[in-house]
Amino acid sequence: MRNGGTIRLVNVRIIDGTGGAPVEHGEIVATDGRLTYVGPRREHPDGATPVRTLDGGGRTVLPGFFDTHVHVTLSIEDGPRAVVADAGSYAAYKTAQRLRATLDAGITTIRDLGGLDHGAQRALDEGLLAGPRARIAVAVLSPTGGHADLTLPNGRAMPLAEPSGLGVVDTDEDVVTVVRRLIRSGADVIKVCTTGGVSSPTDQPDDLGIPERQIALIREELDRHSRPRQIAAHAQGSAGILAAIRGGVDSVEHGYEINDEGIDLMLEKGTWLVPTLSAALRVPDPALVPPYLYEKKVRWSAKARENVAKAFAAGVKVALGTDVGVCPHGRNLLELAHMVELGMSPSDAIVAGTANAARLLGLADDLGTLEAGKLADLVAVSGDPLKDISLLADPDSVELVIKEGVIEKDLITAGPAGLARSA
């Protein structure tokens, strides 16, 4: 299937990502990487004879999912010692392993918000690496002493991320120059920290970071270019959330202390919320993380649970993002269960991980829903996620992953990649 051809899935239940009712006894046909039919099963399909017809056995088929907030080069819970040991080429292989695990979990598109570079993105595009297609930020920007500055009080760097994935900017000139360098480096999105963070050693999530005025400078700089690029704001405390929205970001990442004013502004401006509940609600083993991080995590998890639920109820636009790297890789779709836990319906959670995420990333013309003409990204699971959304949290329950018409994972027939070999 890697060089085109047609595949037909029959006897499947289709959740198409639009939020509409499922199609029972459905059929999906993909030719040369694009969907050509999605709907009720036909007795006499039109067009060319499929290369392979697969009986889905009543499984549920959904669009390939997005994770719009990942850090695939990072695994914070491995600890500083592991990060030092995993440097150089070994780190690249670890990243490749995480990309494969992310794809196997049902994620066919990611937005890496600090760490992944253009070389890895190109390798994914060309099939040299197995994993989701990627949009990248390359680096994370904050002021000195902010969330992207991992310098400890003793002046030594905290070895939790590659220095190339961080950017300290203070003056307006710093901001413009670094943004231009990131564009030169292939960034699709500029990641800024308008607040401190839980994992950074010398600040707090309610500290202010990059101010509204400099966000507006970044927007002005991006608007000079014909290619659209986004601004994503790490924003946890309420003051920094407001600064991010007013400055003109496309998405608020985390949003743990969002208040009524912030919710109203997001609704007014159409700003997206990427709540990263997989990280927010998960309190790590205190033996695996520094004491300051554990204490902040306990306090801010409670804030996130209360405030993000209010944003959901108010109808803020939401896209799925997990912050994996801060939480374990390969269980990205646990985020759906967290969304439902905080009040979202299972159908709306699925839309957040498919159609909404595609809209946020500017990819809705090709991805996010199962509709004829779009790229053939899809996953299949046993059971009904609308009745039990937690089905999707276990990567082993994701039995089929197809990305752009290529079968990347097949547990339905002859084990992993069995169908791909026989097609």
In order of start, what are the domains of the chain with their CATH numbers? 6-64+368-422 (2.30.40.10), 65-360 (3.20.20.140)
267-278 confidence digits (pLDDT tens): 999 999 999 999
Mean pLDDT along residues 60-72: 98
pTM: 0.93
On whether the CB atoms of residues 40 and 14 are closer than 8 A, the answer is no
On whether the CB atoms of residues 241 and 195 are closer than 8 A, the answer is yes
CA-wise closest residue to 234 among 220, 246, 249: 249
Q: Which amino acid is at 125?
A: D
| Percent of the chain at pLDDT exceeding 70 | 90
Lowest mean pLDDT among 14-23, 74-83, 411-420: 411-420
Residue 262 has pLDDT above 80, yes or no: yes
Query: Which run of H or E residues covers position 24?
Result: strand 23-31
Mean pLDDT along residues 150-178: 72
CA-wise closest residue to 237 among 279, 271, 209, 276: 209
**β-strands 23-31, 6-14 pairing:** antiparallel
Name the maximum alpha-carbon separation found in the chain: 73
Give the per-residue pLDDT at 156. Answer: 60
CA-wise closest residue to 293 among 326, 323, 341: 326
CA–CA dist 45, 171 (Å, integer)? 62
Mean pLDDT along residues 148-167: 61
Residue 101 has pLDDT above 70, yes or no: yes
CA–CA dist 357, 170 (Å, integer)? 31
Residue 348 has pLDDT above 50, yes or no: yes
Q: What is the dihedral of CA 386, 389, 392, 397, to 10 degrees?
A: -80
User: Which residue in the block uniquely carries the two structure tokens 């056995």?
Assistant: 57
Residue 336 has pLDDT above 80, yes or no: yes
Mean pLDDT along residues 390-411: 96
Q: What is the dihedral of CA 392, 398, 402, 403, to 10 degrees?
A: 50
Query: Which run of H or E residues covers position 274?
Result: strand 272-274
Lowest mean pLDDT among 89-103, 244-258, 261-275, 402-416: 402-416
300-333 confidence digits (pLDDT tens): 999 999 999 999 999 999 999 999 998 999 999 9
Query: Which run of H or E residues covers position 378?
Result: strand 378-381
